[in-house]
Each structure stands twice: as C-alpha cells, then as structure tokens.
Structure 1
Amino acid sequence: MSKILIVDDEPNILLSLEFLFKKEGFKVFIARDGEEALGIIEESGPELVILDIMMPKVDGYEVCKHLKKKNRETKVIFLTAKSKQQDIQKGLEAGADLYLTKPFSTKDLVAKVKALMN
C-alpha cells in the first residue's frame, strides 16, 4: 500500500483529500504545518507528499528542500493558491515533481498522483 502525506493548514482540504486518497487505496498521513510534516516524513517515509506552501512554522518550500536532500525518490506535489510564475519556478527549483494551483479538480489530482506513483 502506497503511503501519502498531505500537508495543509486548511482543515477542510486535509479532510477531503484524506478521504479521497483512502478511498483510492492509499495509506494516508496528514500534517497541519511544515514542522509536523517533517516529523511524519522522518517516521513514516511516504512515497508522495502533497504540500501546501503557505503554512505556519515551516513553509512548503523548506519542507520540499529538506525532503529532497534526504530522499530524492519521494515525489512532491505542491498544491497551493500561489499561482504566479515566480512561485511556480521557486517550487520547481525546491524540487517539486508537480505544481498544481487551487482551486483544483480532485479527479485530476488523483490521476496525476497515480501517474507519478507508477
């Protein structure tokens, strides 16, 4: 069973994505900020992280950089409201495999996650 970590400070996004990916057969971990995410990454070693950028304590860019330094195999998808070209560039430079903006299609997100995992 593939492990996914969803990191977002918006409870409704966490809940809906957790439900969605559990339904798709993934083992799902959730974190409400970057600091909590780093702890779960150390303990659980998810294969994929869905990551917001604007979060308390540690932002998504820092989480991504830290993760990619330790394990290049783990896939990272930024899922964020930050849609300016410079934000997208910064996300890809931090090591993201994919950069998606909110609002998003859950169907599209599931398809992209499955494609990245294969």
Structure 2
Amino acid sequence: MNSILIVDDSENILMALDIMFKEENYNTIFASDGREALKKIEKNGPDIILMDMEMPVLNGMDTLIELRKKGYTVPVIMMTAGDFIMLREKALESGAQECIQKPFNCFELIRLIKRLTPG
C-alpha cells in the first residue's frame, strides 16, 4: 500500500483528504507544518507528498527546498490558494513534480497521485 504524507495547517483539508485517499487504499500520514513534515519524512519515508505552500513555522516552499537539499527524491505535489501561475513556476523550479490550485478537483488529484506513485 502506497503512503502519502499530507502537509496542511487546515484540519478540515487533512480530514477530507484522509477519507478520499483511504478510499483509494493509500496509507495517510499527516503534518501541520513543514518542520513536522521533515520529521515524518525521515521517520516514515512516504511514497508521495501533498503539501500546502502557506503554513506556519516552516512554509511549503522552504520545506520543499530543504527536502531537495537533503537529497530526498520523493515526488511532491504543492497546493496553493495564492497566485497560482507565479507560485506554480517557483514550485516546479524548486523540485516539485506538480502544483495544484485550491480548491482542486478530487478526481484529477487522485489521477495525478496515481501517475506519480509506484505500482
């Protein structure tokens, strides 16, 4: 079973994505900020990461940059409710595989996750 680390400071988003991904047979792991995400990545080694850009403590972009500096190659999909065109470009340049805009289409997100995860 593939595991997905969901990083977002919104408990509602975490709960909704948990339900959605469990229905698709993913093991879900959660973090509410980038610092917590880095710890969970080291401990759990997820197959893919879905991460919000705007969070307290350590934002998603800085977390992504730190991940890549440490040599992690796990696929990362960034989420943003901000200026999508500018932020998507920055996320892709920083090593994300994709960036999606909130609110997003759940079916499209599942297709994207399946495309980026093994087996």
Common fold: TM-score over 0.5: yes
Q: Which runs of 5+ in 2 are unaligned?
A: none
Q: CA deviation at 1:68?
A: 2.1
Aligned length: 118
Matching residue of 1:50: 50
| Structure 1 SS opposite 2:4 | strand
Match for residue 82 of structure 2?
82
Segment of structure 1 superposing worse, 96-105 or 83-92 = 83-92
RMSD, aligned CA? 1.2
Structure 1: segments with no counterpart, 5+ residues: none
The answer to whether the 8 Å contact 2:84/2:101 transfers is no
Between 1:60-69 and 1:45-54, the stretch displaced more is 60-69
Find the aligned partners of 1:48 and 1:55 in 2 and give their Cα distance. Answer: 19
Residue 90 of structure 1: SS of its match in structure 2? helix
SS of equivalent to 2:79 = strand
Q: Which amino acid aligns with 2:47?
A: E
Are the equivalent residues in 1 in contact too, given 2:51–2:77 (CA < 8 A)? yes
Normalising by structure 1, we get a TM-score of 0.93
Q: TM-score, normalised by structure 2?
A: 0.92
